[in-house]
Chain A
Amino acid sequence: MNKKLILRGFMALLLAFGLSACGTVEPWVKPYERDRLADPIMFLDANPVSTSYIQHVYEAREGARGGEGSAGGGCGCN
C-alpha cells in the first residue's frame, strides 16, 4: 500500500517535472541580479563532506533520519 502510494507520488512529480518544459515562465530574478546568491556564504551546502559527517552523528544519536539533504544544484549561477 505504502509502496503504491510512493510510486504514484513519484509519477505525479515526474509528470509535473515534464510539464514544466511546455510553458515559459519569465524568471523574476534575472541572472544579473543573482550576485548575492552566488556568494559562497549563501550556499545551502557549502561543505558537503562536513555536512554528511554531522548528519551521520545526528542519525546515530537520535531516532530520526532523512529530509535534510541538499536539494539539487543550488541557484545555477556560479
Chain B
Amino acid sequence: MKPNRIQFYGLLLMLLVCRAAVAGVLPEDRADILYHLYDGGGVQIDGPSILVRKQVGKSVSFAANYYVDMVSSASIDVITTASPYSEERKQYSLSMDYLRGNTTMSAGYTNSTESDFDANTYNLSVSQDMFGDLTTLTLSYAYGDDVVGRSDDDSFSRDNTRQHYGMGLTQIVTRNLIASVNLEVITDEGFLNNPYRSVRYADSDNPIGYSYEPELYPHTRTTNAVGFRARYYLPWRAALQGEYRWFGDTWDIVSNTAAVTYVHPMGEWTFTGKYRFHDQTGAHFFSDLFSRSEATNFRGRDKELSPLTSHTVRVAATYEFLSEGWNFVDKGSVTLSLDYLMVDYKEFRDLTSTAPVGLEPLYSLDANVFQLFFSFWY
C-alpha cells in the first residue's frame, strides 16, 4: 500500500472514531404478521411474512424475518412456451443493530431457497445521526451469492455474485418537512437469465412462422438508482409524500418512477391513498421477434426488459387497538391494503392471439396485490 494511501485511510479511521463520540435511536420492538396475495397475468403468489424485532440491553437490537412465496404460474410466457407450474420460495433473514453514541452499525444475513435456486446475502451498514439529529447518513454494502439450477436437469448449476453499494441521507428540513435521498449501485456477475425462458425468431420453415431458442443475457450488469422522497405534515394532521426515482443500467434500461401518497388519520383509523407511475426503456438485447436464429450476441424476451409503462393505485386502512396496552403489548394495529397494478408493454406481444407474425397485439397486464397484516409493539 502506498504511504499517502495509508495516511488517507488513517485519517478516515480517526474521523470515524471521532464521530462515534457524539446518541441515536434503535428501531422499535415490534412484531408483524403479514399475509400477501398477488393475482394477475395468470400468476398467483401468496404466503406469509413474519418479522420480529427485539432489543437486548440498551444498545443491541435483533430482528428475524420469515417470508414465503407460493407461486402458481400460468403467465403469458409460460402458456406460450412451457407448461403451468407451482413452486415455493422460502426466505429467512437475521439482522443485528448495534447503537453506540449516534452511530448505528448493522449486520444481516438472508437466505432464499427454491427447488432450483439458492441465494445467500450478507449485508453491513452504518448510520450516523448528526447536526443535532437533523441529519442521518447511512452507508451500506451487501454481497450476494446465488446458485441457479434447473428442475429438469440436476447437473445444471450456474453461479451469480451481486454487490450492493448504498448511501442514504435523511434530513429534517423544517418542523413540518422531512426528506431523504438514496443512491444505490448494484453490480451482478454470472448467469443472469432465466434458464427456462426462450426468445422467438422468424422461421419460415415452421408453419406458424416462428420458432424458439434459449435466452442469452450478458454476464454482467451494473445498475444505478437515485431516489428522492419528501413528506410534509399538513395543518389538519395529515401527511403528503412525494417521491421520484431515476434508474439507469448497463443494459440500456432507463426508467423514471414517481409517486404521491396521502395519509389521513381519523380517530383509531388511518387511511392511505397512493398513486405510482413508472416508465422505462427496454434492454438493448430485448426483442419480441428476432430476425433469425442467433441473430445477435445477446438475446432476451423477458417482458420486464421491454419498454413499458405501469400505473399503480393503492388504498389502505389501518385500525389501531390496545392503545392502553395489554400485558406486555403496548399497542397493536391491523392494516388491509390493495394495490391495483396496470402494466402496458410497448414491444412485448401477446402470442395467444391469432394475428400475422410480428403484428400480434401488445400485451398488457392488470394485477391485484392484497396485504393484510397485524403489528404489535411491546
Contact = CB atoms under 8 A, between A and B. Distances in A.
A73 B257 contact: no
A10 B165 contact: yes
Contacts, number: 236
Contacts of B337: 50
Nearest to A65: B223
Contact of A41 (B25, B137, B270): B270
A14 B32 CA distance: 34
Contact of A63 (B127, B226, B239, B255): B255
A24 to B, nearest CB: 9
B338 to A, nearest CB: 11
Contacts of A62: 255, 278, 280, 304, 308, 310, 343
Interface string B166-185: 11111010111010111111
A66 B184 contact: yes
A66 B131 CA distance: 27
A21 B18 contact: yes
Contacts of A64: 223, 225, 245, 247, 253, 255, 257, 278, 280
Contact of B172 (A2, A68, A75): A75
B233 interface: yes
Given A17-B16, A64-B245, A41 B238 contact: yes
B12 A78 contact: no
Contacts of B127: 72-73
B133 A66 contact: no
Nearest to B22: A21
B215 interface: no
Given A15-B12, A17-B15, A6 B175 contact: no
A20 B12 contact: no
Contact of A21 (B21, B104, B139, B185): B21
B139 A10 contact: yes
Given A41-B270, A61-B310, A18 B16 contact: yes
B18 to A, nearest CB: 5
Contacts of A49: 32, 34, 49, 51, 65, 373
Contacts of B111: none
A61 B343 contact: yes
Given A44-B229, A57-B38, A73 B104 contact: yes
Contact of B174 (A15, A29, A44, A67): A29
A71 B34 contact: no
B305 interface: yes
Interface string B340-354: 010100000000000
Contact of A18 (B15, B24, B245): B15
Interface in A28-78: 28-29, 31, 33-34, 36-37, 39-42, 44, 47-50, 53-54, 57-58, 60-78
Contacts of A75: 133, 170, 172, 178
Contact of B231 (A9, A22, A31, A44): A44
B164 interface: yes
B166 A69 contact: yes
Interface of B: 8, 11-12, 14-16, 18-19, 21-22, 24-25, 27-28, 32, 34, 36, 38, 49, 51, 65, 67, 104, 127-134, 136-140, 164-170, 172, 174-176, 178, 180-187, 222-227, 229, 231, 233, 237-239, 241, 243, 245-247, 249, 253, 255, 257, 263, 265, 270, 278, 280, 282-283, 304-305, 308, 310, 335, 337, 339, 341, 343, 365, 367, 369, 371, 373, 375
Interface of A: 2-3, 6, 9-11, 13-15, 17-22, 25-29, 31, 33-34, 36-37, 39-42, 44, 47-50, 53-54, 57-58, 60-78
8 contacts: A18-B19, A31-B133, A42-B178, A53-B371, A64-B247, A65-B247, A72-B180, A77-B133
